[in-house]
Structure 1
């Protein structure tokens, strides 16, 4: 069992472990059709709870997962961001992922949070490589990946059979 840790706060954002108390916020985030427009469908409340439980399992098994992101000054919920093991074309790699509330998109929060998670992967976990798996039509997430130093590496097929871009960097 790994002791879960969190990335250090940024100038505007703080990270914390996801708990069942976050269900309302996570159900709102993952159930928002705008946030989930590049996924097969928005998540139900039950699926949002399963998302929280999946991250809690990742914390126990790996010491990391997706963390809740809040505004440093107010504690207001922003979204989630973190690191997860993801299988792409038969290989499990460390992925950075992020979701930001629709009304807070375009303010640089995803880039700021993802950069903190990239640094955490490199400096704390000692990861040798980091990827982001992104749908080809998801330009906002592609820009975040590029801004944090994960250029497009290749096209691939997701486990669900959807075409995706793999953005990657080696440390």
Structure 2
């Protein structure tokens, strides 16, 4: 069983399983959630997303985890740490997707901060990045709030992105 970040005040983390397909297909298939991606994902692509994260748990010991509300267990989205190519270099990225109904309530920042701390304190990662599309201002704000300042414009998955990064990974004040 891969390690997961400890729960936050409002959120819990757990590994993705095939039982999460309905929730992940709805999340990744939502045009609002995926508006900064080339397109929403199909159900089959959501199944592939789960399988990719399960491989990452085996190979890396981490990936994107399911986010749930601690109080009710309700599905909120996913958040975690994945290796990503940026301009030909593999970087440890913090990524997140939050259901539309839960956006604007600080859940992405809360989850991302927990994953930042996990990367620093458990994985002893020397560097952490957030890869954000130029028009995705809310995610740029999340990166800055968790201590990843804008570093440079870059390319990832053949798309222009803004790279937010910190070396070493910051400790919250």
Q: TM-score range by the shorter chain?
A: over 0.9
**In structure 2, what is the equivalent of residue 73 of structure 1?**
71
User: Deviation string for 1:28-70 (max 9, x for gaps)?
Assistant: 0000000000000000000000000000000000110000000
The one of 35, 39, 51 equivalent to 1:37 is 35
The one of 158, 165, 171 equivalent to 2:162 is 165
**In structure 2, what is the equivalent of residue 18 of structure 1?**
16
The one of 115, 122, 125 equivalent to 1:124 is 122
The one of 138, 141, 156 equivalent to 1:140 is 138
Quote the offset at 1:73 in angstroms.
0.8
| Structure 1 unpaired stretches of 5+ | none
Quote the offset at 1:103 in angstroms.
0.7
CA distance in 1, matches of 2:60, 2:137: 30
| Structure 2 unpaired stretches of 5+ | 169-173
Q: What is the number of residues matched between the two proteins?
A: 168
Quote the offset at 1:117 in angstroms.
0.1
So what's the TM-score if we normalise by structure 1?
0.97
**In structure 2, what is the equivalent of residue 150 of structure 1?**
148
Q: How does 1:71-110 map to 2 (within 5 A)?
A: 71-110=69-108
Question: RMSD across aligned C-alpha pairs, in angstroms?
Answer: 0.6
Misfit runs of 4+, over 3 Å: none
Quote the offset at 1:162 in angstroms.
1.5
